[in-house]
Amino acid sequence: MNRPTVNASRLLQDLHTLASFGRYQTGVHRPSLSPQDIAARQWFASRLEQAGLSATIDGIGNVIGRKPAGDVRLLAGSHLETVAFGGWLDGALGCVLALEAARILYASGKPLRHNLDVAAFFDEEGHFGSFLTPVR
């Protein structure tokens, strides 16, 4: 049986490229809506497109990559902005691992029971408060 495998060099290259958006000393400074954060979101959307996903950046900055077909979806991802002078893997690791999982799943060309959508959520640190409204 031919099992899908992670392309470690591609995954590491994506992580290093993402770290270049806001690199600062030994970490990364990429606050929400900073020029570095916006550039990272645009770069990530382009990587989703290259992986065969339809990528959008919604009105509050979430980046979502989807396969157009299928009703049942799984969603994986994390966030791209960092805490002030945070680690280079802060959030980025979850986004890039989800992207790599989608690449592996879709590269086989075999039909899947569920689609895997990839997300880079906006403002995980809550710099702008919550974008969720309580339901009453």
Amino acid at site 69: A
**What is the pLDDT, as a whole number, of residue 130?**
58
The number of domains in the chain is: 1
**Mean pLDDT on 70-93:** 89
Q: Residue 53 is part of which domain span?
A: 8-121
Beta bridge partners, 71, equal: none
**Mean pLDDT on 55-59:** 94
Using DSSP's 3-state secondary structure scheme, residue 96 falls into helix
CATH number of the structural domain spanning residue 84: 3.40.630.10
**Mean pLDDT on 126-136:** 58
Whether residue 25 is contained in a domain is answered as yes
Model confidence at 2: pLDDT above 80 = no
Whether residue 98 is contained in a domain is answered as yes
Which residues 6+ apart lie within 8 Å of 124 measured at CB? Answer: 78, 79, 81, 91
Q: What is the DSSP string of 28-51?
A: E---TTSHHHHHHHHHHHHHHHHT
Q: What is the pTM (predicted TM-score) of this model?
A: 0.89
* Token duo for residue 32: 């929400």
Whether residue 77 is contained in a domain is answered as yes
